[in-house]
Amino acid sequence: MATNGGGSPITDYTIEYSGDGGSNWLTYSDGTSTDALVTVSGLSDDTTYLFRVSAVNAVGTGSASDMASATTAAVPGLPTGFTAAATYVTDYSVDLSWTAPDDKRVDRHQLHDRICGNRRVELLGRYMTAT
């Protein structure tokens, strides 16, 4: 178990988060753990959150840490100009093209579809692979 000041071992950490600038705090339910790393899931997109953590032992819950902030990713904008053109020259393939959204946060586009029989096509950026 982790140690603390005062001789009583730390038995848990309480993780709290706020999506409204600290006016309201929610406790993240991650079970009982003395791990000093947690992934907080179930958050809303494109939202800045404040986080704080408190140590727990047999005596009670200690003071909260300083706050840390992070902003979750945003859903990218809509790609435009999407076209598909069948090519019968090699292996009955399909060429796909589009214009990326003007959103600087987008670093990858994916398209999954069933074409050419039962092959799954994955399009990453401008490269297409069939599996």
Computed on alpha carbons and rounded to an integer, the radius of gyration of the chain in Å comes to 24
- The structural domains of the chain, with segments of one domain joined by +, span 12-71, 80-130
pLDDT band at 126 (very low <50, low <70, confident <90, very high): very low
pLDDT for res 51: 95
> Concatenated DSSP letters for 48-90?
EEEEEEEEEETTEE------EEEE--------EEEEEEEE-SS
The answer, yes or no, to whether residue 89 has pLDDT greater than 50, is: yes
Higher pLDDT, 78 or 56: 56
Superfamily of the domain at 12-71: Immunoglobulins (2.60.40.10)
DSSP state of 101: -
The answer, yes or no, to whether residue 1 has pLDDT greater than 80, is: no
Q: Is the whole-model pTM more than 0.85?
A: no
